[in-house]
Amino acid sequence: MGTPVSNRVRWVGLGSYAEAYLIPVEHPKGVVIEREHKIKRAAHLLYPEDDPRHWTPTTHQPSHRMVDVTVPTVYADPPAQLPPGDVADLIRPLMFSGRAKIGSNVKFDIQSLRKYYDAMPPGPYHDTIIARHVLNENLIEYGLKPLTYSTFGWSRERRSIYPDLGKQDVANFGLDEVARYLCKDLRYAWLLFQRDHEILRRKRLLPVYDFEMSLYPVLIDMEYEGFPVDLAEMEQVKADLLGRIHEIEQEAAGLAGDEFSLSNTEAKRWVMFGQQIRDKHGTPKPIPVGLSNKVQLETQGLQPLSYTEKTEVPQVTKAVLDYYANRGNPMATLLLEWSGLEKLRGTFIEGFQTYLQPHTDGTQRIHTGFKQHGTKTGRLSCSAPNPQQLPREQKGRTSIRQLFVAGPGHLLIVADYDQVELRCAAYESRDPEMLAVFRRGEDIHRSAASAMFQVELDDVSEEQRSVGKTQNFAVLYGAGPARIAFVAHCSLQRAKQLIRRYYATFAGLEPWKRKLLERARRAGDLADGTKPPHVVIPPVGRLRRLPMLYENHDGTRMHAERQAVNARIQGFASNIAKMAMLNLYPKLQELPAQMIMQVHDEVVIRCDERHVFETLPLVVETMSGVTNSEGDPILGPVPLIVSAKVGYTWAAAKGAK
């Protein structure tokens, strides 16, 4: 299938009331003349004389043993077809009319056709994936086939009549098979749309769906535009990474007295713990197979911190390595750095290379896919590839963001919100001290540390600020005294004291969280499984359904409670970012500038270098000026602060802040 920017359109399917049309475009097979079947043939007719199976093993006469033979499907020649560009021209009046475009993953279909036009076909768009996600964010799959099977109660046997030909490449099927498949796609997309749209109306969730669909043109344009990549720089970064990876492997071998594979968990376990390899009951574990000839490796002799659940051997997780690296252990530091650099090399260099597509301006670009149904809070996610996974900080000598460039004659504007989630928490909780901190323009992490360590704001150290930052986000994402003790390098008792001081200063946070959870539980019905407890996400009313809030098991219920707080704040912040993108989109269309990337609270804009300083203040003003339906600032007294800088590479623009 490929990406919609580069895929080959094999056919175009259109449907209306009780009618379906298939327009073949470069489809390689005609209708099926004879389906694949099995026949029996004598072995001597099937195998050549130099094949032992041609003969009987005892008499050495031609074998008459009957063998099953699969006869492949026979297809007629494909009919006369039109080039895809001609088909696009023929249906242009329809595509550029005001008629609704309805389907499953319509974004992909629109982009597949858009490459033949000079503009994007206008909406309105309707997508069954988005509709169902608004109705139920807890599903695993939102594709047309799974939704059809589950919605209409199809048995496993019946599902065989509606296979997913798309995953098998429609080019492998006859035109009549494709036509039947198309009719089913059109029929069930239409039925799902009608059903879910009515449920959305009945449950008063249409505003949420309409809001998400209004973002559709923005995302289509971002995906279609793509992000230019510097190929020469990519090769240089790859070489630098491989060089540093080799250096680390040699340094680790020096510490251990011999070379070993840094990707081998057993080897890492041995060099970290050595004879300390015992299960959690203290029983010694045998030397791992494959390391018996490596027992001469010197070990760090460290104490294990945690054990695997099934095999009960010491874990060598990132958290364990972090613990010992923060305490100065050189092997843990090397293993951590090696792991990080290997991920950069495999995921963000070699992985990204597979997604590069040539552009008409001569650049190579990555066309990330943005998902509106990839998270349960409504936050946008990315796939194929996922730049949201890029590390925020530079790894050693390398920053992967330096590979992403503006291209000839352009510059990048990188704009992001300052602590938008914590600002949402201040607005939601109405905590007086947190509101005051943001109104005064102070650093919320430094203010938290000042309260926790009882020192003046100007006297807060960077290490103390890190503790304050951890506690601030613990309010939103959940983290207990153990995490604070780890970051602060203090006892559990001291960590609990620091947390008490935090909540004594920001006294509105805990009552707000309690009320939020009470409202969520009251919103559900314990006796009715179709009405789970839920959190309402402002400002448009998306729901985050959390059945486990009714759970008696403490651990399960507390996990759901953390999810409830996180959904309220993360979802709210995400909606603010989406509203900013919606406001910014038409303004950028009047300039030689396009949004090309969105990462949580950050937007990347590619702009003609001659207009960049005209565009920069517009971006800041628009993003910081998001308002509610009454035209008031979206966070009331809490200011939205936006930082925006310019650079030729993504790394330079971010680093300029």
Does the residue 383 lie in any domain?
no
Q: Are residues 481 and 605 in the same domain?
A: no
Based on the fold, state whether residues 54 and 92 are members of the same structural domain.
no
534 and 525 in contact (C-beta within 8 Å)? no
Judge whether 593 lies within some domain. yes
Say how far apart CA 608 and CA 614 lie, in whole Å: 10
pLDDT digits (tens, 9 = 90+) for 80-98: 888 899 999 999 999 999 9
Convert 198-246 into a string of H (helix), E (strand) and C (coil): HHHHHCCCHHHHHHHHHCHHHHHHHHHHCEEECHHHHHHHHHHHHHHHH
Find the domain containing 55 and state its range: 37-71
Same domain, 527 and 637: yes
**Is 581 found in the same domain as 452?**
no
| Co-location of 479 and 563 in the same domain | no
d(CA 530, CA 543): 14
Is residue 118 included in any domain, yes or no?
Answer: yes
Window from 188-192, 282-286, 401-405, 414-418 with minimum mean pLDDT? 282-286
* H or E, element range at 371: strand 369-371
Domain boundary among 352, 377, 395: 352
Tell whether 334 is covered by a domain. Answer: yes
Mean pLDDT, residues 522-549: 94
The answer on 193 and 260 residing in a single domain is no
294 versus 150: the higher-pLDDT residue is 150
Number of domains forming the structure of the chain: 5
Lowest mean pLDDT segment, chosen from 15-19, 179-183, 227-231: 15-19
* pLDDT tens-place string over residues 108-162: 999 999 889 988 999 899 999 999 999 999 999 999 999 999 999 998 888 888 8
Is the overall model pTM greater than 0.75, yes or no? yes
In a domain, 359, yes or no: no
CA distance 223 to 284: 55
Is 360 a domain residue?
A: no
The domain that holds 555 is classified in CATH as 3.30.70.370
Supply angle C-alpha 289, 292, 298, rounded to 5.
120
Indicate if 41 and 22 belong to the same structural domain: no
**What percentage of the chain has pLDDT greater than the value 70?**
95
Q: Which of 210-219, 263-272, 410-419, 440-449 has the lowest mean pLDDT?
A: 263-272
The pLDDT assigned to 390 comes to 80
Alpha-carbon distance of 253 to 344, in angstroms, equals: 22
The answer on 206 and 119 residing in a single domain is: yes
- Interval 385-405: pLDDT, tens: 888 888 765 554 567 888 999
Q: Does 275 share its domain with 410?
A: no
The share of the chain scoring above pLDDT 90, in percent, equals 61
Q: Is residue 387 part of a domain?
A: no
Average pLDDT of the chain to the nearest whole number: 90
Same domain, 263 and 327: yes
196 and 316 belong to one structural domain: no
pLDDT of residue 286: 57
Say if 559 falls within a structural domain: yes
For the segment 178-182, the average pLDDT, to the nearest whole number, is 91
Residues 584, 550 share a domain: yes
